[in-house]
């Protein structure tokens, strides 16, 4: 069963097996550590289980010997008992410490694996899956897995090993009383199977419910300005209360199952104790059993069923951790829609290129002032596209953008402009056809060279926490301070930075909240200019600029885009003035193509848009 993007909480039927394989992959590098841990837990279980044997010897042989004058007969089993108790404590300490160490190593590996994989997943995945669900995978689900690995797993292993050693000791001491105890395994096994199935369903419901709570919280906090602007507080409170109610119901169902399981195991344990007392007493009265052996059996029964309380709790955490691991596995199993080639093809070297002939991942300095760039040619051949098998957004078309040409895309909202540039930036691969850069298919380019050659600036102008300089340097991490300042000056950002208290070291705060939308956009421009790409894509990148800022950026663009291939989406036709060529799009098709002046003279769709724009300026 494939996962339906419209039902993100539906998991494949074989997800449990996939989760186990994932756990095996994470454990494999630490096999020696886990082998040592198994040895320590086995030693602890053995030490914890054989203590009553020496108590029985002290009762049956030591006391009669001491009465006869042999004090050592009583002291020796007691000393061995104390020694075993001390060693058991050391084994417990060592196993607890090693459990925590191995759990942390595994969790670090899992967190990094999830984070790296989510970053590689395509834009299509992130547009279908909310950030709140991914936050839940990285926080709540990870926490449940860690709790189980750090504590509950050890308790479960100790409990099972102790019960196993005790089972052997019981058979050796008296097989008749052992059978009385083992008879309780039949109902205990049935109860465990039933509880396991119910708890797995309950924990999956619980993980889904808490994820929805986190989604609601993250979306509310992320859009707090809109929430407060439109007075959505009460509505959001009701939605969160509804999700909390579902979480409460799922948790209550899980706790009811735990209570039923715990009560059943204790009832079976008490019946076993009564059976041992009855059978053992009858054997003692018939001289078929010593009192010390019966006493040891009663101690063993207590120790045998004693761990069940811990096992019940560990069982609950196991089911919760398993459900959480299944959710994480589902994310890790998601295949990136855009895959980097195993044998990449390099772009041809160019003279006059700032980075065309650079090594992959290396950043070359921007070309000296006055140097003419050769640019790169972009070609679309038979390209078509549809989102996730839906309706066709871009019918089949051909398009060539010569090196160094600036092309403006105009048209109504939904015409397909943003889809076209997303394909050029390879956020998606076309459904049909190929897109080439200087004759090399984008699918054949290494991701490092593609991201170095094609840079996209969107209208969101997202800034990361840190300084203004750090955010500009994202375009070229190894750039010097002088290069950062030069990029800021190129887009007209330098005068604003000069007024800031710490200059380029000024903290932009969360998501650039210290800066206006126009200032954030200028930082994004500086970031892109510093990256010095062969192809620059501007997706409505001047949408948030005021008129003075827009004019400032227009002047900067005229200089920076000279000789560079550029594709600009613009609702403001003032941006078109710097374009060499205009493409008018409608319903995913290019309906007009030509120089701005020629299209205005022709009196077509662009002429109408231009006339409306001129009228709005009057």
Residues 319 and 430 in one domain: no
Residue 586, SS3 per DSSP: strand
Same-domain check for residues 323 and 385: no
Last residue of a domain, one of 301, 332, 363: 332
pLDDT digits (tens, 9 = 90+) for 416-436: 898 999 999 998 999 999 999
pLDDT of 10? 67
**Are residues 177 and 60 part of one domain?**
yes
The CATH number linked to 132 is 1.20.1560.10
Identify the pLDDT of residue 357.
Answer: 37
- Mind spelling out the 3-state secondary structure of 541-561? CCCCCCHHHHHHHHHHHHHHC
CATH number at residue 400: 3.40.50.300
Residue 350 counted as domain residue: no
Q: Tell me if 402 is assigned to some domain.
A: yes
One domain, residues 58 and 191: yes
- Is residue 391 located within the same domain as residue 320? no
Examine the domain organization and report whether 312 and 401 are in the same domain.
no
Residues of the chain with pLDDT under 70: 1-10, 49, 225, 229-230, 305-310, 350-374, 389, 511-512, 541-546, 549-550, 552-553, 556, 558-560, 563, 616-618
| Alpha-carbon span 401 to 420, nearest angstrom | 13
User: Is 609 within a domain?
Assistant: yes
Structure tokens at 490: 């190129």
Listed residue (560, 538, 339) closest to 450, CA to CA:
339
Answer whether residue 435 is part of any domain: yes
Q: Are residues 265 and 411 in the same domain?
A: no
Q: Which helix (H) or strand (E) holds 320?
A: helix 307-332
Assigned token pair, 193: 């199977």
Q: What pLDDT sits at residue 314?
A: 76
> Could you tell me the residue range of the domain that residue 213 belongs to?
15-332
Spatial separation of the C-alpha atoms in residues 449 and 437, rounded to whole Å: 11
Residue 344 domain-assigned (yes or no): no
238 lies in a domain?
A: yes
**Are residue 265 and residue 386 in the same domain, yes or no?**
no
Give the chain's domain count. Answer: 2
């Amino acid at each position: 069963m494939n996962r339906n993007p419209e039902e993100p909480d539906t998991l494949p039927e074989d997800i449990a097996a996939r989760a186990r394989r994932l756990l095996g992959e994470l454990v494999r590098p630490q096999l020696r550590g886990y082998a040592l841990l198994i040895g320590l837990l086995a030693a602890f279980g053995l030490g914890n289980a054989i203590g009553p044997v020496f108590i029985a010897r002290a009762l049956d042989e030591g006391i009669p010997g001491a009465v006869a004058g042999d004090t050592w007969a009583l002291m020796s089993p007691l000393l061995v008992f104390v020694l075993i108790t001390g060693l058991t404590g050391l084994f417990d300490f060592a196993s607890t410490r090693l459990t925590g160490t191995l759990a942390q190593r595994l969790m670090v590996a899992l967190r990094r694996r999830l984070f790296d994989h989510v970053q590689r997943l395509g834009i299509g995945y992130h547009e279908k899956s909310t950030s709140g669900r991914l936050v839940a995978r990285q926080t709540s689900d990870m926490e449940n897995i860690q709790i189980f690995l750090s504590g509950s797993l050890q308790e479960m292993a100790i409990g099972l090993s102790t019960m196993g050693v005790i089972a052997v000791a019981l058979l050796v001491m008296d097989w008749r009383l052992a059978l009385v105890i083992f008879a309780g395994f039949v109902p205990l096994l049935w109860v465990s199977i039933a509880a396991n199935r119910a708890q797995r369903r309950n924990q999956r419901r619980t993980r889904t419910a808490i994820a929805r709570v986190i989604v609601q919280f993250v979306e509310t906090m992320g859009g707090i300005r809109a929430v407060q602007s439109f007075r959505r507080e009460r509505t959001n409170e009701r939605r969160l209360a509804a999700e909390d109610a579902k979480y409460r119901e799922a948790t209550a169902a899980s706790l009811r199952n735990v209570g039923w399981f715990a009560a059943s195991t204790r009832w079976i344990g008490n019946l076993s104790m009564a059976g041992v007392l009855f059978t053992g007493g009858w054997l003692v009265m018939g001289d078929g059993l010593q009192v010390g052996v019966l006493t040891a059996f009663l101690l063993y029964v207590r120790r045998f069923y004693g761990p069940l309380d811990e096992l019940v709790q560990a069982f609950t955490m196991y089911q919760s951790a398993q459900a959480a691991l299944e959710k994480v596995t589902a994310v890790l199993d998601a295949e990136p829609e855009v895959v980097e080639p195993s044998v990449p093809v390099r772009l041809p070297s160019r003279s006059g290129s700032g980075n065309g002939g650079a090594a992959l991942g290396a950043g070359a300095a921007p070309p000296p002032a006055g140097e003419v760039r050769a640019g790169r040619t972009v070609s679309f051949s038979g390209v078509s596209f549809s989102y996730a098998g839906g309706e066709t957004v871009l019918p089949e078309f051909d398009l060539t953008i010569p090196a160094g040409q600036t092309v403006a895309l105009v048209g109504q909202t939904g015409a397909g402009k943003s889809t076209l540039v997303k394909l050029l930036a390879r956020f998606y691969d076309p459904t049909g056809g190929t897109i080439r850069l200087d004759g090399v298919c984008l699918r054949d380019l290494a991701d490092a060279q593609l991201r170095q050659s094609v840079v996209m600036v969107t209208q969101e102008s997202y800034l990361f926490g840190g300084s203004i300089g750090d955010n500009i340097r994202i375009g070229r991490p190894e750039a010097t301070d002088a290069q950062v300042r030069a990029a800021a000056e190129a887009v007209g950002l330098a005068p604003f930075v000069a007024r800031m208290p710490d200059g380029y070291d000024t903290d932009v705060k969360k998501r650039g909240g210290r800066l206006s939308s126009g200032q954030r956009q200028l930082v994004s421009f500086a970031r892109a200019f510093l990256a010095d790409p062969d192809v620059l894509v501007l997706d409505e990148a001047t949408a948030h600029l005021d008129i003075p800022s827009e004019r400032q950026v227009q002047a900067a663009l005229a200089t920076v885009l000279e000789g560079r291939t550029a594709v600009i989406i613009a609702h403001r036709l003032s941006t078109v003035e710097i374009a060499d060529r205009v493409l008018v799009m409608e319903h995913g098709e290019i309906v007009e193509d030509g120089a701005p002046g020629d299209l205005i003279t022709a009196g077509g769709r662009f002429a109408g848009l231009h006339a409306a724009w001129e009228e709005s300026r009057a």
